[in-house]
Structure 1
Amino acid sequence: MPLIALGLNHLTAPVSLREQVAFDMDAAGEALLALTREPGVEEAMILSTCNRTELYVSVAAGAEDIPRAWLNRHHHLTPGKLDEFLYRHDEHEAVRHMFRVATGLDSMVLGEPQILGQVKDAYQQAREAQALKAPLDRLMQHTFAVAKRVRTDTRIGAHTVSVAFTAVRLAEQVFADIKQACVLLIGAGDTIELAARHLAEKQVRRLIVANRTLESAQELAGRYGGYAISLAELPQHLAEADIVISSTAARQPIVTRAMVEQAMATRRRKPMFMVDIAVPRDIEEAVGELPDIYLYGIDDLHQVIDDNRRSRAAAAHDAEAIIDLQVDRYMAWRRALTLKNPAMDMRQHAEGYRDEVLGKARAMLARGKSPEEALAFLANTLTNKLLHHPSARLREAALSGDLDLLHAAGRLYGLDEEQAKRDA
């Protein structure tokens, strides 16, 4: 049952394509059910973030191309449209990729911690959709353990720089004094909360939080001394914002060109700095064509992020070494699934002997034999049956000089340990 990781990310595809294949997490369960109903797909998990869309699937032999075809069909894309942008990893390379993603080694911001939470969410969604079986479920448990160890044993997370922090840092470079800025945050998820925390630390003049659910906006704004509005109120408040940072799960743009044109007329052409870190994009692409608007998308943050990437190179090297070891361990467990386990056969064989001899001992008691006589028969007969075949094979090994089998028997039964204790 081959394991495949198939997807595209910020390194292989532009944001315009990434937003076409992004999955709405509210509908992820239905997508997983559809994927697992494909012929040959045994189990599946979908990871969809602003920087990547990936399918992790176990398939039957010969069905390796099914997930690629399904991805095109699910998003109503022309067959083959994604081919030049997709990457595919098989078996141990798929495991390595999963570990690298969860530890932040494959992120735009090297070592960023938010991706692990997104991986856990994807895992939970797959479990709720009953799309996981033992191999992929075990991989995810192993993944979380690897991510924890990398965080503990390396400095990959030192001085954490998230995409949200990068957006705030870029705003600082544009505004001479960010403390005088009014900032509008659109959304109320983890990324926006991180941005709110960083902006509160910078002591910005005013913070406005807009969200589809007003209660969520009020809760977030209340924690950081901001003011909450609903998305419907955006046109009335957009002109107040010097800085706009947006990250929602909306499928269509929230901020349109017409909305921004009206706001800029009210601002008397006072510049506005906008960062759209959502996929699909929250801010209409045409907004960037307007004068005095400085619009940055998720892909525009690369330069700021690359500085951080160089500072973490040594820690990343240590993390890769941990991942290499853990890939081998997981693959050893996966290979064991395909091997016939003699321990199970041995137990069934022994239980068969036990039931047979126990039945005869009970029959002896029923015929009036004494308990001592029945117990002696049970012990002697069961011992002889259990040891007959191993003893015969060991005698043959001794006569033929098969030292490998003799030493293996010593390890199997713990005889070498007993001998070591006696010698000591």
Structure 2
Amino acid sequence: MGFIALGINHRTAGVEVRERVSFSPEQLPDALQRLRAEAGADEVAILSTCNRTELYCAQDRLDAERLVEWVARFHGMTADEIRRSSYLHQDAGAVNHMMRVAAGLDSLVLGEPQILGQMKDAWQAARTAGTLGPYLDRLFQSTFSMAKQVRTDTAIGENPVSVAFAAVSLARQIFADLRRSTALLIGAGETIGLVARHLFEQGVGRIIVANRTLQRAELLSEPLGGQAIVLTQIPDILAECDVVISSTASPLPILGKGAVERALKQRRHKPMFMVDIAVPRDIEPEVGSLSDVYLYTVDDLHEVIEENLRSRQGAAEAAERLIELGTGDFMQRLRALAAVDVLRSYRQKAEQARDQELQKALAKLQRGADPALVMAEMARMLTNKLLHDPSVQLKQMTAQGRVEALALAQELFALGDSAPGNRNNSAQGDS
């Protein structure tokens, strides 16, 4: 079984490209079904976050070009656009890459823990859509175990940093005292939840959570003493907000230039700090051109994040070594599974031969034949049947110059130093 990981991430493409190739939660079920049907893969899963979109596929013979063309076709892009921005990993490389992603080693924020949850969401989406399959499922389970081992055995998770943490750190640089600031958080997912907790710990004066559904906003805001509103109320409250951080799965911008201009007038041009973590973007890029607005996207958080990562470099090296070992172990187990399939088939064939000879022997015994002679004949015939195909194939392979088959047969049948004599005798026994 072969594996492919095809992806586009924050290192290979800017946010403008990443938002075009992202898959919304609503798109995923249909996309998974279409990917499997149209790209010629037996098992598929899709991971789509603000920093990456990756396709994971399992099949004996995979055509990477078909995957590239499928992504381009699904998102209305050209294959060249995808090729320029994408990376491809196959077999052991794909296994290694998935483990690195789940452990946070390929993230914008080194070692950030959110990606593991997002990987589990991708696994669950494929499972629900019926596109997972036994091989990809086994790879995901090994990936989750490796990520857990990295967290347990290294210091990769110490001194916690994340996109959410970086956003709040940047806000502290803009506003020296967050206790006098009001923060508007748009969305109620995991990233915004982290932002809310970081802001609360920094003592921000007021937290407002805006979401499509009021109930989700209340679940996040109430424990922090915040206020919950729906998205349509944002224009009414925007002028009160010093900090705006947004991360939703909306396919269209939620906050436009006009609404921000009106809010600035009401604020008498008191500065506003905005971070758009979403892909596709929640805040229109044109908002960044307004005076008194400091607008950042996930790509702009690199410098802040780098300062918080130096302590994790040593842990990352240890994690890489663990993942190398994990990759080798997984591939070894995968090869062993392939052997199990072959052995199962050979056992079925042997059992069929056994049953045939047993039926013949029982029939002879019922007719009064000598039991000793019947047993001897059954043993001889069964031995010949079991040895016939291997003997014929070994002769053909050596005649074709594939002399390595002799050494493999010697090892396979545990013949030891007696192999040459035994090989000739067995090859002649059923000719």
Give the TM-score range, shorter chain. 0.7 to 0.9
Alignment of 1:46-57 (within 5 A): 46-57=46-57
1:188 paired to 2:194: no
C-alpha displacement of 1:304: 1.1
User: In terms of mean alpha carbon deviation, does 355-364 or 132-141 score higher?
Assistant: 355-364
Query: Which residue matches 2:35?
Result: 35
Query: Which residue matches 1:235?
Result: 235
Query: Which residue matches 1:345?
Result: 346
C-alpha displacement of 1:134: 2.3
RMSD between aligned alpha carbons? 3.1
What is the one-letter code of the residue matched to 2:74? Answer: H
User: In terms of mean alpha carbon deviation, does 345-354 or 260-269 score higher?
Assistant: 345-354
1:408 paired to 2:409: no
What is the one-letter code of the residue matched to 1:83? Answer: R
**1:226-271 superposed Cα distances (whole Å, 9 cap, x missing partner):** 0000000000000111111110001111111000000011111111
CA contact (8 A) 1:40 1:60 kept: no
What is the one-letter code of the residue matched to 1:49? Answer: T
Query: Which residue matches 1:416?
Result: none
* Pair 58,18 (structure 1): closer, same or farther in 2 beyond 3 Å: same
* Pair 131,361 (structure 1): closer, same or farther in 2 beyond 3 Å: same
C-alpha displacement of 1:6: 1.0
* Pair 388,88 (structure 1): closer, same or farther in 2 beyond 3 Å: closer
Alignment of 1:90-101 (within 5 A): 90-101=90-101
* Pair 170,338 (structure 1): closer, same or farther in 2 beyond 3 Å: same
TM-score, length basis structure 2: 0.83
User: In terms of mean alpha carbon deviation, does 346-355 or 239-248 score higher?
Assistant: 346-355
C-alpha displacement of 1:357: 3.9
Query: Which residue matches 1:138?
Result: 138
Alignment of 1:8-19 (within 5 A): 8-19=8-19
Alignment of 1:363-378 (within 5 A): none
Alignment of 1:220-299 (within 5 A): 220-299=220-299
Q: Distance in 1 between matches of 2:64 and 2:218?
A: 47
What is the one-letter code of the residue matched to 2:100? Answer: R
Q: Distance in 1 between matches of 2:287 and 2:64?
A: 42
Query: Which residue matches 1:211?
Result: 211
What is the one-letter code of the residue matched to 2:115? Answer: I
Q: Distance in 1 between matches of 2:268 and 2:47?
A: 43
What is the one-letter code of the residue matched to 1:198? Answer: H
CA contact (8 A) 1:357 1:378 kept: no
Query: Which residue matches 2:26?
Result: 26
Aligned pairs, number? 396
C-alpha displacement of 1:209: 0.5
What is the one-letter code of the residue matched to 1:408? Answer: A
1:164 paired to 2:153: no
Q: Distance in 2 between matches of 1:317 and 1:330?
A: 20
Query: Which residue matches 1:151?
Result: 151
Query: Which residue matches 1:325?
Result: 325
Aligned-partner SS, 1:184: strand
* Pair 361,190 (structure 1): closer, same or farther in 2 beyond 3 Å: same
* Pair 406,42 (structure 1): closer, same or farther in 2 beyond 3 Å: closer
Q: Distance in 1 between matches of 2:262 and 2:373?
A: 98
C-alpha displacement of 1:309: 2.4
C-alpha displacement of 1:118: 0.4
Q: Distance in 1 between matches of 2:242 and 2:147?
A: 38
**1:261-316 superposed Cα distances (whole Å, 9 cap, x missing partner):** 00011111111111110001111101111111111110010001112222111111
User: In terms of mean alpha carbon deviation, does 339-348 or 247-256 score higher?
Assistant: 339-348
Query: Which residue matches 1:418?
Result: none
* Pair 319,240 (structure 1): closer, same or farther in 2 beyond 3 Å: same
CA contact (8 A) 2:353 2:382 kept: no
* Pair 363,310 (structure 1): closer, same or farther in 2 beyond 3 Å: same
* Pair 305,379 (structure 1): closer, same or farther in 2 beyond 3 Å: farther
What is the one-letter code of the residue matched to 1:23? Answer: F
Query: Which residue matches 2:428?
Result: none
Q: Distance in 1 between matches of 2:363 and 2:172?
A: 86
Q: Distance in 1 between matches of 2:383 and 2:307?
A: 68
* Pair 39,119 (structure 1): closer, same or farther in 2 beyond 3 Å: closer
CA contact (8 A) 1:353 1:385 kept: no
Q: Distance in 2 between matches of 1:69 and 1:316?
A: 34
C-alpha displacement of 1:59: 4.6
C-alpha displacement of 1:133: 2.2
Query: Which residue matches 1:61?
Result: 61
Q: Distance in 2 between matches of 1:59 and 1:356?
A: 39
CA contact (8 A) 2:357 2:378 kept: no
Aligned-partner SS, 1:269: coil
C-alpha displacement of 1:43: 2.0
Alignment of 1:296-315 (within 5 A): 296-315=296-315
Q: Distance in 2 between matches of 1:406 and 1:249?
A: 55
Q: Distance in 2 between matches of 1:195 and 1:361?
A: 77
What is the one-letter code of the residue matched to 1:147? Answer: A
Aligned-partner SS, 1:26: coil
Q: Distance in 1 between matches of 2:412 and 2:202?
A: 72
What is the one-letter code of the residue matched to 1:299? Answer: D
**1:359-403 superposed Cα distances (whole Å, 9 cap, x missing partner):** 966996x899xxxx99x9999999998889999x9xxxxxxxx9x
Query: Which residue matches 2:77?
Result: 77
What is the one-letter code of the residue matched to 2:219? Answer: E
Q: Distance in 2 between matches of 1:261 and 1:32?
A: 41
**1:162-212 superposed Cα distances (whole Å, 9 cap, x missing partner):** 111111111111111111111110000000111111111122111100001
CA contact (8 A) 2:2 2:62 kept: no
Q: Work out the percentage of aligned pairs sharing the same amino acid.
A: 49
TM-score, length basis structure 1: 0.84
CA contact (8 A) 1:358 1:378 kept: no
Query: Which residue matches 2:397?
Result: none
C-alpha displacement of 1:58: 2.9
Aligned-partner SS, 1:312: helix
C-alpha displacement of 1:119: 0.6
Q: Distance in 1 between matches of 2:412 and 2:205?
A: 80
User: In terms of mean alpha carbon deviation, does 163-172 or 108-117 score higher?
Assistant: 163-172
